[in-house]
Structure 1
Amino acid sequence: MKLIDLNGDGGIGANSLYIQLGDFHLVIDSGLHPKKSGRDAAPNLRPLQGVKLDLIIITHCHLDHIGSLPLLLRNQPDVPVIMTQPSRMLIERMLHNSVNVMVREREEKGTADYPLFTHEEIDRIAPRLYGHPYNHAKKFSGAKDDIEFILHPAGHIPGAAGVEIHHKNRRLFITGDVLFNVQRILAGAMFPKAKFDTLVMETTRGVTERAAEKTRSFEMIRLVETINATIERGGSVLIPVFALGRMQEIMAILHDARKFNKLVDAPIFASGLGMDIADLFDQIAKKTGAVHFTRTILKDLQVRKTPRDIKAGKEPPQQGIYVVSSGMMVEKTPSYTLASALAASPKHSICFVGYCDPETVGGALLAAEKGEPFLFADANVKVKLRCQIERFELSGHADREELLDYAVQSHPRSIVLTHGDPPARAWFAEQLKEKLPKAKVLDPVPLQTYTV
C-alpha cells in the first residue's frame, strides 16, 4: 500500500489522504484549512497529476474534510464520491455556505483566489455524490483492482464514519474524526473489534489529559450551572459553537435542562448556518434515525434570531444566552463580535465547548490571564479581560486513552497518525511504540510517498 498525506502543512487542516492499494487509487476526504485563505487553504494535489482516481470517500461534512472537494473533482471528471446517507443530506448545504463565506471574504479582504468554486459547480458535481448506509459491505471495482468497504458509525457529528477497506488479503481501517462517548443527539462510535493490517487514526486530543472527575455528564451540569450564575448576576453567556453538530448538541443540552427546571429563564439566541442544519438534522432523524434532534427542541426553547445590531466592544442590546458560530472565534463571525462586547465585564461569561486551535482568537482567549489587555484586532477593540472564561470537556473527539486502547486491540502491523498537531502525534507515537513494539508507527511528512 502506498500513502501520501496531501495536507501540505500536516497537523489539523486541509485533511486529505491519497491511498494506492495495488492498482486501486482512492482519496479519503478533501478539506480546507480553517486558518488559511485562497489556494493556500486547499490540499496540495500535485501528487495526483496523471493519476486517475477510482474512488473518493468522505468521512464527514466538516469543512476541514470536504471544503476543497469541488477542486479535487475538476481533474477527476468521472470518479464517484461515497459517504454515509446523513452526510449526503448535509454536504451540499455545507459547500454552498462555504461559497458564500468565500465571496464575502473576497469582498472584505480582497482575497483574489476566492471563491475557489461556485454554486453552479456544486450543482454540477451533486450527481456524483452517493450516500451509502452504515455497516453494509460494498464491493467497488476500479480500472484493474477491486476493494470492499464498510462505513462504521464514528460518533463525532451526524454522518461521521470510520472506513474499513479490504483489498485482497489486506485489511485497512481509517478512524476519521471519532467520539466513542454518547452525545445528547448522537450515539458514540461503533467500530469493529478486529485485527487490521493498517490503522490510520486521528490524534486531535493527544496532548489533552482528561481529569477523571470530568465526565461528559459532569461537564454538562457545570455548563448549565455557569449559565445560571451568569444570568442571575445580570450578565450574558456566549457559547461559541461549530454550526454543524456542536450547536445542535448544545441546544439539546439546554432543552433537557429547561425541561427539568434546571435552566434559568432567559432568552436563547442563535442564527445562521447552524439553524439551517437543525432543519436538515430534523430530516435526517425522520429518514434515517441516525440523529436524535428535531425542530421541536428549538421551538420549545423559543430560540430567537441573534440581534443584528450587536456591535464590537459594545454591550449587547439584550441579555441572554448566545449560541453562535464560529467555535474558534474566527474574525468577523458572530462569536468574535460578541466576545469583544462581553470580555471587559465580570458579569459576562464565555463558555468554550469544543476544540480550539491555540493560534485562533478562541485559543488566545483560553490562554489569556484575567486582568491582562486583550486585543480584538479585526474589530479594533482592546479590553482588559474581566469576563469569566470557562472550558468544558464536551469535545467531539475521543480522549487519547480511548483511541490508544482501540489501536492496541486492533493489533495493526502499521499505524499512520493523522489529524493532530505535532505534540499530539508525538504523544501517540511514544505510547504506541511502548504498547505495540512490533508495529510500525508512521507520522507522515506531507507530500512524501510512503509504502506501508
Structure 2
Amino acid sequence: MKLIDLNRQGGIGANSLLLMIGDLNILVDCGLNPKTPGVGALPDLSLLRDIELDLIIITHCHLDHIGGLPVVMRQHPKTPVLLTQSSRMLIEKMLHNSANVMQKQKEEDGVPGYPLFTHKEIEGLTKRFVGLPFKKVKKIKGKRGEIELMFHPSGHVAGATAVEIHHGMRKIFLTGDVLFEHLRTLKGAHFPIGHFDTLIIETTRGMTERAYGKERVHEIARLIDSINDTIAKGGSFLLPVFALGRMQELLAVFHDARRFGRLIECPIYAGGLGIGLSELFDEVSRKTKDVQFDMRILKDLGLRKLPKKIMPGQEPAQKGLYIVSSGMLVEKTPSYALASGLLGHARNTIGFVGYCDPDTPGGKLLATKPGATFAFDALDVRTKVKARVDRFELSGHAERGELLEFAVQTKARSIVLTHGDPDARDWFKTQLAEQLPKAKVIDPVPLRLHEV
C-alpha cells in the first residue's frame, strides 16, 4: 500500500489522502483549508492529474473534508463517491452553502478563482453520490484485484464514519474524525476490536489532556451556569459553533436544561445554515436513526432569528443567548460580527465549545489576556477585552488516551498519523514508540509518496 497526503500544509485543513491499494486508487476526503482564500485552499490535486481514481470516500460533511469535492469530481468525471446514508442526506446542503459563501467572497473581496464550483455543478454531481449503510460490506473491483470495505460509526458528527478495508489478507482501518463519548444527539464511535495491519488515525487532541473535573457532564453544567450568570447580570452570551453538529447538539442540551428548570429564561437567537441543517437532522433522525433530533426542540425553546443588522463594534440591543457560526470566529461570519460588539463590555461572555485553530480569530482571542486590545481587522474594529472569554471542553474529537488505547490494541504494523498539528502528532509518535515499539509510525510529509 502507498499513500500521499494531498493537504499542502499538513496539519488540519484541506484534508485529503490518496490511498493506492493494489491496483486501486482511492481518494479519502477532499476538503478546503478555512484559513486560506482562493484556489490555495484546495488540496494539491495536480498530483492526481495522471491517476485514474477508482473511488472517492467521504468520511463526513465538515467543509475541511468536503469543501473541494466538486473540483476533484469535475477532474475525474467517472469516479463514484461513497459516503454514509446520513452524509448523503447532508452533503448537498453543505456544498450549496459553500458555493454561496464563495460567491459572496468574490463579490466583496475579489478572491481570485472563487467560486470554485457553482450550484448548477453541485446539482449535476449528486447522481454520483452513493450512500452506504454502516456495517454493510461493499466490494470495489479494480482491473486485476478487488477490495472489501465497510463503514463503522465514528461519532464526531452525524454521518461520520471510519473505514475498514480488506485487500487480500491485509486489513486496513482509517478512523476519520472520532468521538467515543455519547452525545445528546449522536452515539459515540463503535469500532471493531482486534488486529489491523495498517491504522490511519486522527490526532487532533494530541496536545490536550482533559483535566480531572473537566468531563463532558461537568463542562455542560459549567456552561449552563455561566449562561445563567451572564444573563442574570444583564449581559449577552455568545456561543460560536459549527453549524453542522455542534449547533444541533447544544440546542438539544439546552432544551433538556430548560425542561428541568436549569436554564434561565431568556431569548435564544440562532440563524443561518445551522437552522437549515437542523431540519435535515430531523429528517436523518426519522429515516436512518443515526441521530436523535426533533425540530420541535426549536419551537419549545422559542428560538428567534438573528437581528437583521449586526453592526460591527456595537453591542446588539437584544440581550440573550446567541448560538451562531462560525465556531472559530472566522472573519465575516455572524459570530465574528457579534463578538466585535460584545467583547468590550464586562457583562457579556463569549464561550468556545470546540477546536479553535490558533491562527483563526477565535484561537487568537483565546490567547489574548483580559484588558488587552483585540483587533477585528476585517471589520476595522479594535476593542479591549472586557467580556469574559471562556473555553468549555466539549470537543467533537476523542481524547488522546482513548485513541492511543485503540491504536495499541490493534497491534498494527504500520500507523499513519493524520488530522493534527505537529505537536499533537509528536505526542502520538512518542507514546506509540513506547507502547508499540515494533510498529512503523509514519507522519506523512505533505505531497510525498509513502510506502505503508
TM-score by length of structure 1 reads 0.99
Q: CA deviation at 1:192?
A: 0.7
Q: CA deviation at 1:142?
A: 2.2
Partners of 1:309 and 1:317 within 8 A in 2 = no
Report the Cα distance in structure 2 between the residues aligned to 1:231 and 1:215, rounded to whole angstroms: 24
Partners of 1:310 and 1:317 within 8 A in 2 = no
Determine if the alignment matches structure 1 residue 149 to structure 2 residue 149.
yes
* Letter aligned with residue 51 of structure 1: I
* Letter aligned with residue 251 of structure 2: M
Q: Which residue of 1 aligns with 2:136?
A: 136
Q: Which residue of 2 aligns with 1:291?
A: 291
Report the Cα distance in structure 1 between the residues aligned to 2:156 and 2:324, rounded to whole angstroms: 19
| 1:346-385 matched pairs, under 5 angstroms | 346-385=346-385
CA deviation profile, 1:205-240 (whole Å, cap 9, x unmatched)? 111111021111000000000000000000000000
Report the Cα distance in structure 2 between the residues aligned to 1:414 and 1:220, rounded to whole angstroms: 38
Q: Which residue of 2 aligns with 1:94?
A: 94
Report the Cα distance in structure 2 between the residues aligned to 1:305 and 1:442, rounded to whole angstroms: 47
* Letter aligned with residue 415 of structure 1: I
| 1:149-228 matched pairs, under 5 angstroms | 149-228=149-228
Q: Which residue of 2 aligns with 1:29?
A: 29
Report the Cα distance in structure 2 between the residues aligned to 1:49 and 1:94, rounded to whole angstroms: 26
Determine if the alignment matches structure 1 residue 243 to structure 2 residue 243.
yes
* Letter aligned with residue 270 of structure 2: A
Q: Which residue of 2 aligns with 1:430?
A: 430
CA deviation profile, 1:167-217 (whole Å, cap 9, x unmatched)? 111100000000000111100000110210000000111111110211110
Partners of 1:54 and 1:143 within 8 A in 2 = no
Q: CA deviation at 1:37?
A: 1.1
CA deviation profile, 1:245-304 (whole Å, cap 9, x unmatched)? 001111111111000000000000000000000000000000011101110111100100
| 1:408-447 matched pairs, under 5 angstroms | 408-447=408-447
Please state whether the residue corresponding to 1:275 is helix, strand or coil.
helix
Report the Cα distance in structure 1 between the residues aligned to 2:384 and 2:327, rounded to whole angstroms: 22
Please state whether the residue corresponding to 2:199 is helix, strand or coil.
strand
Partners of 2:369 and 2:385 within 8 A in 1 = yes
Report the Cα distance in structure 2 between the residues aligned to 1:143 and 1:250, rounded to whole angstroms: 48
CA deviation profile, 1:74-130 (whole Å, cap 9, x unmatched)? 221111100000000000110010000000000111012000011111111100001
Please state whether the residue corresponding to 2:152 is helix, strand or coil.
strand
Partners of 1:163 and 1:173 within 8 A in 2 = yes
Structure 1 consecutive aligned stretches of length 4 or more whose deviation exceeds 4 Å: none
Q: Which residue of 1 aligns with 2:42?
A: 42
Q: Which residue of 1 aligns with 2:55?
A: 55
* Letter aligned with residue 241 of structure 1: V
Q: CA deviation at 1:144?
A: 2.5
Q: CA deviation at 1:309?
A: 2.1
Partners of 2:39 and 2:112 within 8 A in 1 = no
Please state whether the residue corresponding to 2:219 is helix, strand or coil.
helix
Please state whether the residue corresponding to 1:357 is helix, strand or coil.
coil
Partners of 1:257 and 1:263 within 8 A in 2 = yes
* Letter aligned with residue 443 of structure 1: D
Q: Runs of 5+ in structure 2 lacking a partner?
A: none
Q: Which residue of 1 aligns with 2:333?
A: 333
Q: Which residue of 2 aligns with 1:68?
A: 68
Please state whether the residue corresponding to 1:56 is helix, strand or coil.
strand
Q: Runs of 5+ in structure 1 lacking a partner?
A: none
Q: Which residue of 1 aligns with 2:308?
A: 308
Q: CA deviation at 1:53?
A: 1.0
CA deviation profile, 1:399-429 (whole Å, cap 9, x unmatched)? 1111000100111000000001111111111
Report the Cα distance in structure 2 between the residues aligned to 1:24 and 1:167, rounded to whole angstroms: 10
CA deviation profile, 1:326-379 (whole Å, cap 9, x unmatched)? 000011111001111110111000010000001110001111110111111111
* Letter aligned with residue 373 of structure 1: T
Please state whether the residue corresponding to 1:151 is helix, strand or coil.
strand
> What fraction of aligned residue pairs are identical, expressed as a percent?
57
CA deviation profile, 1:25-83 (whole Å, cap 9, x unmatched)? 10100100010111100000122121111111100000000010111112211111000
Report the Cα distance in structure 1 between the residues aligned to 2:12 and 2:323, rounded to whole angstroms: 24
Partners of 1:279 and 1:295 within 8 A in 2 = yes
TM-score by length of structure 2 reads 0.99
Which stretch shows the higher mean deviation, 309-318 or 192-201? 309-318
Determine if the alignment matches structure 1 residue 234 to structure 2 residue 211.
no
* Letter aligned with residue 33 of structure 1: N
Q: Which residue of 2 aligns with 1:280?
A: 280
Q: CA deviation at 1:145?
A: 1.8
Please state whether the residue corresponding to 1:235 is helix, strand or coil.
coil
Partners of 1:56 and 1:80 within 8 A in 2 = yes
Report the Cα distance in structure 1 between the residues aligned to 2:223 and 2:293, rounded to whole angstroms: 20
Please state whether the residue corresponding to 2:450 is helix, strand or coil.
strand
Report the Cα distance in structure 1 between the residues aligned to 2:102 and 2:378, rounded to whole angstroms: 17
* Letter aligned with residue 350 of structure 2: I
Please state whether the residue corresponding to 1:305 is helix, strand or coil.
coil
Please state whether the residue corresponding to 1:304 is helix, strand or coil.
coil
